[in-house]
Amino acid sequence: MDAVHIETNGPDAGLGRIALVNGALILGSAASNPALESTYRDAADAVVQTYESLVVESSSGRAGDPRFDSAVDAVNTKERSLKELCGD
């Protein structure tokens, strides 16, 4: 998730969206492992969904736009929950 933050905090919005899509794909792939407990899978899937929503909102929104800001807040909340669950 830190790599996503590096790209999404840079000046190139396109790289930020690419990083979010890549992060969603990687996390979604890892979460689909049947050996993963459902608690972790559900938390990872929640992050994936917020990444996808943020990509959609970032295509037309900007900081200060309530829908964009809400999508950013959702990502931060779900990432924080996943990190707490995983102990990081």
Better-scored residue on pLDDT, 58 or 1: 58
Q: What is the extent of the structural domain holding 51?
A: 3-86
Say yes or no to pLDDT of 45 above 90.
Answer: yes
Residue 65 has pLDDT above 90, yes or no: no
Residue 62 pLDDT > 90 = no
Is the CB of residue 47 less than 8 Å from the CB of residue 82?
A: yes
Average pLDDT score over residue span 62-78: 88
pTM over 0.75: yes
Overall number of domains in the chain? 1
pLDDT higher than 90, residue 81: yes
The pLDDT confidence band at residue 51, using thresholds 50, 70 and 90, is: very high
Spatial separation of the C-alpha atoms in residues 54 and 19, rounded to whole Å: 11
